[in-house]
Amino acid sequence: MSDTAATAPLAGMRIVEVSSFVAVPLAGMTLGQLGAEVVRVDPIGGAADYHRWPLTEGGESIYWASLNKGKRSVAVDFRDPDAQALIADLVVEAGVLVTNVAGRDWLDFAALAARRPDLVHVQLVGRADGGTAVDYTVNAATGFPLASGPVDVAGPVNHLLPAWDVSAGLYVALAVLAAVHRRNTTGAGARIVVPLEDVALATIGNLGYLAEAQLGGAGRERIGTAVYGTFGTDVVTSDGVRFMLVALTPRHFRDLTELTGCTAAVAAVEAALGVDFRDEGTRFRHREVLSGLIRAWFREHTAAEAAAALAASSVLHERYRTFAEVAADPKVTANPMFARLDQPRIGPHLAPGLPMSVDGRHHTPRPAPANGDDTAAVLAEHLGLDAARIAELHSRGAVRVAAPTEVTGPA
Amino acid sequence: MSDTAATAPLAGMRIVEVSSFVAVPLAGMTLGQLGAEVVRVDPIGGAADYHRWPLTEGGESIYWASLNKGKRSVAVDFRDPDAQALIADLVVEAGVLVTNVAGRDWLDFAALAARRPDLVHVQLVGRADGGTAVDYTVNAATGFPLASGPVDVAGPVNHLLPAWDVSAGLYVALAVLAAVHRRNTTGAGARIVVPLEDVALATIGNLGYLAEAQLGGAGRERIGTAVYGTFGTDVVTSDGVRFMLVALTPRHFRDLTELTGCTAAVAAVEAALGVDFRDEGTRFRHREVLSGLIRAWFREHTAAEAAAALAASSVLHERYRTFAEVAADPKVTANPMFARLDQPRIGPHLAPGLPMSVDGRHHTPRPAPANGDDTAAVLAEHLGLDAARIAELHSRGAVRVAAPTEVTGPA
């Protein structure tokens, strides 16, 4: 069952987004998936992210379409004073702004809040001190690239997933809802600033890495595919398929040694070393010998045999997949979170809704707009501009009203 | 300036958390940092995460303390029917439950909602089909481990950051606020289920990986520290320090070639190949030759020289740091998001608040409780139990009231 506008949690909420790249677009899209109406305002022709890779053969951004599903698009000339005033009007009318744009007077909190004191203004910045930063630079300072990856690698191992952008986008969405909650309770507006770098630093603090280092911990060495403080390992089958295995509990681990026929060998090692593998820290300390014993069984069994044996056990496990494999897997194709999306300019594909069900229902993904698709409709509906005024603004280039012949390229 | 209870966005909201590991504890802590009162209810002696690594020399979990800051702790015997009823009473009284516990009748939505129809019940599960999963197994199926890491690595490269747990925790927090918003508007409760696996699948969809694969994209090869679709590279200085550099715009890239004295060489390559490096995709396609030209300058300059030159440019950059280095860095020690926290059992350290400022103020971190620290106070304040009843429950082991001599170990 899919959601309806009436029952969506944020039905009736209106949000203006002036953004680019990952974090704020994800924030806006997520609030839209929860039921808000999200108007993304961009420069005519699109912001810096409008042509970001991956692209279709026709040069359209799969990336942009994926991160801006279900929004309305207004395109204006950011240098035109009338257009700047229109953006401000839209923000004042909606009452909520999410943005990662800095240095634009007409988007500043003070100017907008002077017109609407209960404005919720949430801004993502690179660093709290105003410096610029992106996920891939922020990540370098977190400690993760020097502790991730195979044990024999010397240099940094960056993440491919822009994990800080994703987290920051979710914090921005959370900031909006927290501030709207307070506004509904007290009438107060809010100015909230979310620094991307602070999202990363808070997270490494929340996971204990910073306290561990401050309290004199030994530091973290590379551990490959092991899982710190418990037992995890990758294994490869006789037909070359890889699985990730995790044994968090004594039962998981007992099942794993039985499955792989090494219970007696593990017990012999345990006795000889005078240790107790029911303790997860002890399993971690002795991960190399334990992984060695366990991997041997997988090398002599096929992926099908391994999958069947693992499925019959309590062992936490998953087969490693490429992006292409997961895209074609029942995890996607038979998952009610995904629905066929006829995305203009990109093509039909299975697109995800929100990763949660609300009262048993999933959000149904809606297409991303093209730049300026909704300029005329939004200016009319939200600001009451008449057709003649919109046509005048369009004709002198202050705004761009999309027409069928105009939707695919920059002006 | 720090926050106060009165101005915190979620002041007055009360949440019961029955959880373990990362995602739901992070959700509860985050809602607490936004001003909610969060009561974590655990088995006597702590849940499965209470002794998770990293540990202090005394065996206390730095990890647990870091993910449970500012909560109240109630400890009860989950097998005792009276204790189960008390947990249900606490949930009904608070009106919001966040949990990753499954298979407990007394925490099921139906039973609780029968007593409080406007209950907000948010449950994290491993998979939508009820299967179990953890971050490190979910990640295997996402495609990232087979596309991350150095170009010459053959096997999977797992992330060390539990990125899916962190994202899932933030989605859980978001689900709570969205559902509370709807409840405040319509009076309706909500049952929300957030599958960890779906968080990962939605994210790879939102970032375009699944559509790219479905639409016949070429697949993703390992690209090391490069940044897909634009220009990024790591470099190493003459004194062995590594930096991450990103040039998103033509200006960034021009500054980078000028800084490294390779503008003429880059222009010569550009002319010879008949390409235009102002296009970021073109910079990505030719990343190896461009990285080669740029890295040469860094090999002949110290980290201090490189840092000064980069700081004077528009180039996005960051020095790679270990966890120990960032813990001692002004990014942490001079950051108003961090404050000294006198954490019982663990020791004083700089702990993060919420990665956002609200009206210019930062949340001040508060200590994590020990198991059962607040049992007596919460049962009295929230449920009106008198001292004799609490003492009786404690004496027969249905609940555990912490006393100074009891707070450090399991019962």
* pLDDT above 70: residue A235: yes
How many domains does one find in chain A? 2
Average pLDDT, integer, range A125-133? 94
Q: Nearest residue of A to residue B325 by CA position?
A: A143
Specify the higher pLDDT residue, A102 or A91. Answer: A91
A315 by DSSP, 3-state: which? coil
User: Taking Cα atoms as reference points, which of A121, A80, A117, A115 lies closest to residue A98?
Assistant: A121
User: Taking Cα atoms as reference points, which of A153, A151, A195, A158 lies closest to residue A291?
Assistant: A151
Tokens of B3: 């926050």
Tokens of A286: 């002795």
Q: Nearest residue of A to residue B338 by CA position?
A: A202
B158/A34 CB distance under 8 A: no
Contact list in B for residue A353 (CB cut-off 8 A) is 202
Give the pLDDT confidence score for residue A4 in this predicted structure: 57
Q: Is residue B386 in some structural domain?
A: yes
Q: What is the spatial distance between Cα B277 and Cα B283, in angstroms, rounded to a whole number?
A: 5
Residue B4 — very low, low, confident or very high, per pLDDT cuts 50/70/90? low
Q: Nearest residue of A to residue B337 by CA position?
A: A198
- Smallest Cβ distance to B136: which of A171, A205, A246? A246
Give the pLDDT confidence score for residue B7 in this predicted structure: 83
Residue carrying the six token digits 């809040």: A113
How many angstroms separate the CA of residue A355 from the nearest CA in chain B?
Answer: 5
Average pLDDT, integer, range B21-49? 97
User: Taking Cα atoms as reference points, which of B28, B195, B153 lies closest to residue B98?
Assistant: B28
Q: What is the spatial distance between Cα B265 and Cα B276, in angstroms, rounded to a whole number?
A: 14
A111 by DSSP, 3-state: which? helix
Interface test mutation site (partner B, options A198, A237, A255, A282, max chain B beta carbons within 10 A): A198
B349/A217 CB distance under 8 A: no
Which sign does the torsion angle of CA B315, B316, B319, B320 carry? negative
The Cβ of residue A342 has, within 10 Å, a number of other Cβ atoms equal to: 10
How many angstroms separate the CA of residue A211 from the nearest CA in chain B?
Answer: 6
Q: Any idea how long chain A is?
A: 411
Give the pLDDT confidence score for residue B1 in this predicted structure: 43
The DSSP-derived string for B77-140 is: -TT-HHHHHHHHHHHHHH-EEEE---S-GGG-HHHHHHH-TT-EEEEEESSTTS----HHHHGG
Contact list in A for residue B315 (CB cut-off 8 A) is none
Contact list in B for residue A1 (CB cut-off 8 A) is none
Contact list in A for residue B162 (CB cut-off 8 A) is 207
Specify the higher pLDDT residue, B143 or B408. Answer: B143
State CA B156 to chain mean position distance: 23
Burial class (CB within 10 angstroms; exposed 0-12, middle 13-18, buried 19+) of B275:
middle
Q: What is the spatial distance between Cα A322 and Cα A212, in angstroms, rounded to a whole number?
A: 34
Average pLDDT, integer, range B147-157? 95
Regarding an ipTM greater than 0.85, the answer is yes
Q: Is residue A227 in some structural domain?
A: no
Q: What is the spatial distance between Cα A345 and Cα B207, in angstroms, rounded to a whole number?
A: 17
Contact B233, B223 (CB under 8 A): no
How many angstroms separate the CA of residue B200 from the nearest CA in chain A?
Answer: 8
Give the pLDDT confidence score for residue B219 in this predicted structure: 84
User: Taking Cα atoms as reference points, which of A260, A292, A263, A295 lies closest to residue A277?
Assistant: A263
Contact A241, A305 (CB under 8 A): no
Residue B411 — very low, low, confident or very high, per pLDDT cuts 50/70/90? very low
The answer on A260 and A160 residing in a single domain is no
State yes or no: is B165 an active-site residue. Answer: yes
How many angstroms separate the CA of residue A399 from the nearest CA in chain B?
Answer: 25
Q: Is residue B219 in some structural domain?
A: no
The answer on A131 and A194 residing in a single domain is yes
Tokens of A129: 């001190």
CATH number at residue B198: 3.40.50.10540
Which strand (E) or helix (H) includes residue B377?
Answer: helix B375-383
- Look over chain B and give the mean of its residue pLDDT values, rounded to a whole number: 95
Q: Is residue A233 in some structural domain?
A: no
User: Taking Cα atoms as reference points, which of B201, A36, A360, A79 lies closest to residue A28?
Assistant: A36
Q: Is residue B237 in some structural domain?
A: no
The answer on A268 and A162 residing in a single domain is no
Q: What is the spatial distance between Cα B197 and Cα A173, in angstroms, rounded to a whole number?
A: 21
In this structure, are strands A37-43 and A14-18 parallel, antiparallel, or unpaired?
parallel
pLDDT in tens, A331-363: 999 999 999 999 999 999 999 999 999 999 999
- Look over chain A and give the mean of its residue pLDDT values, rounded to a whole number: 95
B210/A166 CB distance under 8 A: no
- Helix, strand, coil percentages (3-state) for chain A, rounded to 5, are 40, 15, 40
How many angstroms separate the CA of residue B334 from the nearest CA in chain A?
Answer: 11
- Smallest Cβ distance to B9: which of A34, A144, A178? A178
A302 by DSSP, 3-state: which? coil
* pLDDT above 70: residue B359: yes
B316/A134 CB distance under 8 A: yes
The answer on A294 and A342 residing in a single domain is no
The answer on A381 and A266 residing in a single domain is no
Q: What is the spatial distance between Cα A137 and Cα B232, in angstroms, rounded to a whole number?
A: 9
* pLDDT above 70: residue A2: no
Looking at B165, B198, B373, B374, which residue is catalytic?
B165
Tokens of B45: 């002696």
Q: Which domain holds residue B397?
A: 3-205+333-406
The Cβ of residue B8 has, within 10 Å, a number of other Cβ atoms equal to: 21
The answer on A164 and A102 residing in a single domain is yes
Quick one: DSSP state of residue B141?
G
A161/B163 CB distance under 8 A: yes
Query: Residue type for A347, please?
Result: G
Mark residue B403 as left, alpha or beta (left: phi above 0; alpha: psi -120 to 50; beta: remaining).
beta
Mark residue B310 as left, alpha or beta (left: phi above 0; alpha: psi -120 to 50; beta: remaining).
alpha
Q: What is the spatial distance between Cα A67 and Cα A29, in angstroms, rounded to a whole number?
A: 7
Which sign does the torsion angle of CA B29, B31, B35, B37 carry? negative
Q: What is the spatial distance between Cα A356 and Cα A344, in angstroms, rounded to a whole number?
A: 26
Q: What is the spatial distance between Cα A371 and Cα A307, in angstroms, rounded to a whole number?
A: 46
Q: Nearest residue of B to residue A325 by CA position?
A: B143
- Smallest Cβ distance to B198: which of A163, A168, A337? A337
Residue that is last in its domain, among A292, A319, A346 = A319
State CA A333 to chain mean position distance: 20
Give the pLDDT confidence score for residue A407 in this predicted structure: 37
Q: What is the spatial distance between Cα A247 and Cα A250, in angstroms, rounded to a whole number?
A: 8
A399 by DSSP, 3-state: which? strand
pLDDT in tens, A159-201: 999 999 999 999 999 999 999 999 999 999 999 999 999 999 9
How many angstroms separate the CA of residue A410 from the nearest CA in chain B?
Answer: 15
Residue that is last in its domain, among B319, B353, B385 = B319
* pLDDT above 70: residue B3: no
- Smallest Cβ distance to A179: which of B9, B194, B326? B9
Contact A92, A116 (CB under 8 A): yes
The DSSP-derived string for A364-376 is: PP-PPPPTTTTHH
Q: Is the preceding omega at residue A54 within 30 degrees of 0, hence cis?
A: yes
pLDDT in tens, B177-236: 999 999 999 999 999 999 999 999 999 999 999 999 999 888 899 999 999 999 999 999
Contact B221, B149 (CB under 8 A): no
The answer on B141 and B57 residing in a single domain is yes
Count of alpha carbons within 13 Å of A26, Cβ hemisphere only?
A: 30
The answer on B24 and B69 residing in a single domain is yes
Average pLDDT, integer, range B49-77? 97
Q: What is the spatial distance between Cα B256 and Cα B235, in angstroms, rounded to a whole number?
A: 12
The DSSP-derived string for B230-290 is: SEEEEEE-TTS-EEEEEE-SHHHHHHHHHHTT-HHHHHHHHHHHT--TTSHHHHHHTHHHH
The answer on A312 and A379 residing in a single domain is no
Q: Nearest residue of B to residue A35 by CA position?
A: B178
The answer on B82 and B135 residing in a single domain is yes
A178/B177 CB distance under 8 A: yes
The answer on B348 and B268 residing in a single domain is no
Average pLDDT, integer, range A127-153? 96
- Smallest Cβ distance to A195: which of B167, B248, B355? B355
State CA B8 to chain mean position distance: 21
A205/B67 CB distance under 8 A: no
Residue B344 — very low, low, confident or very high, per pLDDT cuts 50/70/90? very high
Q: What is the spatial distance between Cα A185 and Cα A31, in angstroms, rounded to a whole number?
A: 20
Q: How many percent of chain B have pLDDT more than 90?
A: 94
Contact list in B for residue A29 (CB cut-off 8 A) is 206
Q: Is residue A170 in some structural domain?
A: yes
Strand order in the sheet with A72-76: A399-400, A72-76, A37-43, A14-18, A96-99, A120-125, A190-195, B357-358
pLDDT in tens, A28-51: 999 999 999 999 999 999 999 999
Phi, psi of A141 (to 5 degrees): -85, -5
Contact A199, B355 (CB under 8 A): yes
Tokens of B257: 């070639």
Q: Is residue B232 in some structural domain?
A: no
- Smallest Cβ distance to A208: which of B62, B182, B217? B62
Contact A75, A406 (CB under 8 A): no
Residue A5 — very low, low, confident or very high, per pLDDT cuts 50/70/90? low
Q: Any idea how long chain B is?
A: 411
Q: With b meaning 16 or more CB within 10 Å and e meaning fewer, what string describes A17-42?
A: bbbbbbbbbbbbbbbbbbbbbbbbbb
Contact list in B for residue A62 (CB cut-off 8 A) is 208, 211-212, 215, 217
Q: What is the spatial distance between Cα B372 and Cα A168, in angstroms, rounded to a whole number?
A: 33
Q: What is the spatial distance between Cα A259 and Cα A152, in angstroms, rounded to a whole number?
A: 30
Contact list in B for residue A324 (CB cut-off 8 A) is 143, 213, 219
pLDDT in tens, A291-333: 999 999 999 999 999 999 999 999 999 999 999 999 999 999 9
Contact list in B for residue A282 (CB cut-off 8 A) is none
Q: Nearest residue of A to residue B177 by CA position?
A: A177
Looking at A165, A255, A373, A374, which residue is catalytic?
A165
Burial class (CB within 10 angstroms; exposed 0-12, middle 13-18, buried 19+) of A409:
exposed
Count of alpha carbons within 13 Å of A337, Cβ hemisphere only?
A: 28
A335/B128 CB distance under 8 A: yes
Residue that is last in its domain, among B319, B343, B367 = B319
The answer on B259 and B199 residing in a single domain is no
The Cβ of residue B409 has, within 10 Å, a number of other Cβ atoms equal to: 12
Please state the pTM of the whole predicted model.
Answer: 0.97
B337/A150 CB distance under 8 A: no
State CA A365 to chain mean position distance: 16
Contact B35, B10 (CB under 8 A): yes
Contact A165, A172 (CB under 8 A): no
**Using alpha carbons only, what angle is made at residue A107 by residues A132 and B3, rounded to the nearest 5 degrees?**
70
A153/B148 CB distance under 8 A: no
Interface test mutation site (partner A, options B206, B320, B325, B349, max chain A beta carbons within 10 A): B206
In this structure, are strands A242-247 and A316-319 parallel, antiparallel, or unpaired?
antiparallel
Q: What is the spatial distance between Cα B349 and Cα B340, in angstroms, rounded to a whole number?
A: 5
Q: Is residue A142 in some structural domain?
A: yes
